[in-house]
A and B are shown apart, each in its own frame.
Chain A
Amino acid sequence: MVQFNLPQNSKIEIGKHYQDKTNSKNIKKVNVYRWDPSTGQNPRVDTFEVDMDTCGPKVLDILFKIKNEIDPSLTFRRSCAHGVCGSCAMNIDGVNTLACIKSHTDINGDLNVYPLPHLKVVKDLIGDLTTLYKQYESIKPWLETEQTGEEKAELQQSQKDREKLDGYYECILCACCSTSCPSYWWNGDKYLGPAVLLQAYRWIQDSRDGDKKERLRKVADELKLYRCHTIMNCTNSCPKGLNPAKAISSIKKMLATS
């Protein structure tokens, strides 16, 4: 069911304002979404004044600076800090991206940081991705073959067939695309979403896979696949520059022509 407004317990309140104590002239105001499960209060947006002269270039550097110097209770996921793991996916300046590769110099004015949209918040900037992972599991993201494991020969793939996976295997499953998609917001429990469909296409395309027909049959569903209306928010937000919209269209095309 489409619900445009936030539920009562999710309405955002005005939070604390942390004034700058360093007397720096190069200050950036950073508005961060906060929610603490232990207080039972509504989420709020805290404003931090951050001294940019002593801060690294990326948004993740700002978050670390806040955590280290201003409020150690700020909670966010991060791991590699180089755009490879996809842990620090969040909504920065209105668009989903990875905090570790987004330059704060690209953003004029105040910096707004929110968790990925339309997810249950676990704490502060951490959203609950359980549904997405379950959907990912449902498309069987592994090779389905006739092999028993006893064979001595490798499963071989020509260079040409391998190239078919380019632009799809690079996906790091950060969920930026899925949580940017309005269709996924309204039908996230049934519609698979761009990230999972891109993965589905990656396995359908794999020449070594023996289950192509079954994979296509399973994904061909009014809700699972055809809730994509080519809004293109997914492609706009992908921090790795991939094109989920194109992958979904390729699946639709395969189904239409097979």
Chain B
Amino acid sequence: MQNKNNPLSPHLQIYKWQISSLLSITHRIVGVINILAITIICFFSLSLLLGEESYQIINNFFKSFFGKFVLLGLCWTFSFHILNELRHLIWDLGYGFDLKVAKITGVIVLIGSFILTILFYLIGKNIF
């Protein structure tokens, strides 16, 4: 086909989301968020060197409702990424490609990530 004016058939606009593709894109987005989060945590640790005051500012933020929401959100993004990465590692070993198995492991990862988040939250509650 030489004609450059031919239209491109629709893709993202019409393709139905599968659980596998949904988890795949979530894995990517969550990965980016995690890298940003780790960077911010590093800066947070560095700020401790500047004394108690700078620590207090961030601590106040984490104590606010929005701060708590962010922390809980990060618990979920890390849980999800860890579990789904495990799934990817198993795939790399050559197992779990059967369509049914892949769907089941996908659902397990999704439910597991929320359970892990709740666990993180409860452990945090007991310590503080």
Question: Interface residues, chain A, CB within 8 Å of chain B?
Answer: 4, 6-7, 9-10, 12, 33, 35, 37, 40, 42-43, 91, 93-95, 112, 114-122, 127-128, 130, 180, 182, 185, 229-233, 235-236, 243, 245-246, 249-250, 252-253
Q: B20 contacts which of A37, A119, A232, A253 (Cβ < 8 Å)? A: A232
Check if B10 is an interface residue, CB within 8 A of chain A. yes
Q: How far is the CA of A42 from the CA of B8 in the complex (A)?
A: 10
Interface majority SS on B: helix, strand, loop or mixed? loop
Given contacts A128-B1, A249-B97, contact A33 B102 (CB under 8 A): no
B residues whose Cβ falls under 8 Å from a Cβ of A: 1, 3, 5-16, 18, 20-21, 24, 88, 91-94, 97-99, 102
A179 to chain B, nearest CB (A): 8
Which chain B residues border A33 with CB–CB below 8 Å?
A: 9-10
State the total of A-B contacts with C-beta under 8 angstroms.
Answer: 109
- Of all chain B residues, which has the CB nearest A41? B7
Q: Provide the residues of chain B in CB contact with A253, threshold 8 Å.
A: 92-94
B23 to chain A, nearest CB (A): 9
Q: Is the CB of B88 within 8 A of A9?
A: no
* Closest-CB distance, A115 to chain B (whole angstroms): 4
Query: A59 vs B94: C-alpha distance in the bound complex, in angstroms?
Result: 36
Whether B8 contacts A10 by the Cβ 8 Å rule is yes
Q: Give B9's nearest chain A residue, CB to CB.
A: A115
CA distance A91 to B91 in the complex (A): 28
Q: Is the CB of A243 within 8 A of B9?
A: no
Please give the distance in Å from B116's CB to the nearest CB on chain A: 22
Q: Judging by beta carbons under 8 Å apart, are B12 and A4 in contact?
A: yes
Give complex CA distance A43, B12 in Å. 16
Q: How many whole Å from B97's CB to the nearest CB in chain A? A: 4
User: In angstroms, how far is the closest chain A Cβ from the Cβ of B9?
Assistant: 4
- Residues on B with beta carbons closer than 8 Å to the beta carbon of A117: 9-11, 14-15
The reply to whether A236 and B20 form a contact with Cβ atoms under 8 Å apart is yes
Cβ–Cβ < 8 Å partners of B21 in chain A? 182, 231-233, 236
B13 partner residues in chain A, CB cutoff 8 A: 6, 12
Task: Return 16 A-B CB contacts under 8 Å, by A number.
Answer: A10-B10, A33-B9, A93-B16, A117-B9, A118-B8, A119-B9, A120-B3, A120-B9, A121-B7, A121-B9, A182-B12, A232-B102, A233-B15, A236-B20, A243-B98, A246-B94
